[in-house]
Structure 1
Amino acid sequence: MDKKHLYREKKQDPSLKLFVVLSKAYRSISDQVAADIRKRGLNTTEFGVLELLYHQGEQPLQKIGDKILLASGSITYVVDKLEQKGYVSRKQSDSDRRITYASITQEGSRLLEEIFPGHWEQIESITAGLSEEEKHETIDMLKKLGTYADRLSLENK
C-alpha cells in the first residue's frame, strides 16, 4: 500500500476524525469561556481557584493544582494575585508548618456570586447547539472515553 493511500485511509478513520473534531470543539468553547471570564475581570485560572475555594472550602495550596489541573509553581503565583486583590487569604497549618491553606474571602465570595450567574448564562448560550438530551448523551460518552483513556495511561506506566 502506498503512502498516499494509507494517508487517505487514516484521514477517513473515525478515531482520527473524533480526535480532530473534539479538539476543535474544545478549543472553540474554551476560547469563548475564557473571553467571558476575562470580561468579568479574571483569567480562567483565577476563576477556577475561586470557584474551587467557594464550593469546596479551604484547600492546601498543594492540592489546588491537582484539582484544577495546574502546575504547583503556577498556583503560588495565582494565589498571590488573588490575595493582592483581596479575594483569597492564606493560613499556615497548625499541625504541619509545611502546609499552607488558601480560602476565599468574603470579598471573593461576593465577586463570585456576582459574576457566576452571567457566566453560567454564557455557558448555556455556548452549549445551546445541543438539546438537553444530546448534552446528557455527550456527557456520558465523553466520560466513557475519558475513563478508558485514563485506564490506558495507568496500564502504560
Structure 2
Amino acid sequence: MEENLSLKSFVVLMKASKSVTERVKKDISRYHMKTSEFAVLEALYHKGDLTVKQISEAVLINTGSMTYVIDKLEARDLLERRPCKNDRRAVYIHITDEGRQLMDDIFPKHQKAIEEIFQNVTAEEKKAAIDILKRIGQK
C-alpha cells in the first residue's frame, strides 16, 4: 500500500504541535501563569492597547474566556481597562507598569525557551516551515 503523505504530514504536525505546546506551557508555568494569561500580556506588551476583540483575535481565545483572563490579570494589577475617548462602547485593555516590568523580566527568558525548541532547525528550514504552514492554514 502506498504511503499517504498528507495523512503522515498531519500526524507529524499534530505530534509536533503537542510537544511544543507542552514545552511552552511548562516554560510559562515557571512564571506562575497560564498560557492564556501570558498570551494576553504578550499581545499587549508588543502591540500596545487593544480591545478585547483584538486581543481575542491575536491570541486565538474566544471573547467569553477572554473576560475571565482579563479579570484575573487586572486583579494582579498587570493590566487595566480604559474607556475609549471616541467610542463610549469600546474599552481598551492597557498593560500597567507592573505588567510591563514583569514582561521585561520574563519575555527574554521565554524567547530563549522558544529558541531552544528550534535549536536544531536551520534558518532556511524555519523559513520553509513558516511558508508551508501558512499555506496549510489558508485552506
Fold match by TM threshold 0.5: yes
Q: Any stretches of 5+ residues in structure 1 without a counterpart?
A: 1-7, 150-157
**Percent sequence identity over matched residues?**
43
Tell me the CA shift for residue 132 of structure 1. Answer: 2.2
Once the two structures are superposed, residues 3-55 of structure 1 have per-residue CA deviations (whole angstroms, 9 ceiling, x without a partner) of: xxxxx55xx21000111100110110111011100111211111111111111
Equivalent position of 1:105 in the other structure: 96
Give the alignment's Cα RMSD to 1 decimal.
Answer: 1.3
Alignment of 1:55 with 2:49, yes or no, is: no
Q: Distance in 2 between matches of 1:28 and 1:19?
A: 14
Equivalent position of 1:91 in the other structure: 82
Count of residue correspondences: 139
Alignment of 1:134 with 2:125, yes or no, is: yes
Alignment of 1:145 with 2:114, yes or no, is: no
Q: Any stretches of 5+ residues in structure 2 without a counterpart?
A: none
More relative contact order, 1 or 2 (CA 8 Å, 6+ apart) = 2
Tell me the CA shift for residue 145 of structure 1. Answer: 2.1
From the CA coordinates, give the structure whose radius of gyration is larger: 1
Q: Which has the higher helix share?
A: 1
**Structure 1 stretches (4+) deviating beyond 3 angstroms?**
none
Once the two structures are superposed, residues 97-152 of structure 1 have per-residue CA deviations (whole angstroms, 9 ceiling, x without a partner) of: 321110100110010010011111111111112122221221122122223x1xxx
Q: Which AA in structure 2 matches 1:65?
A: S
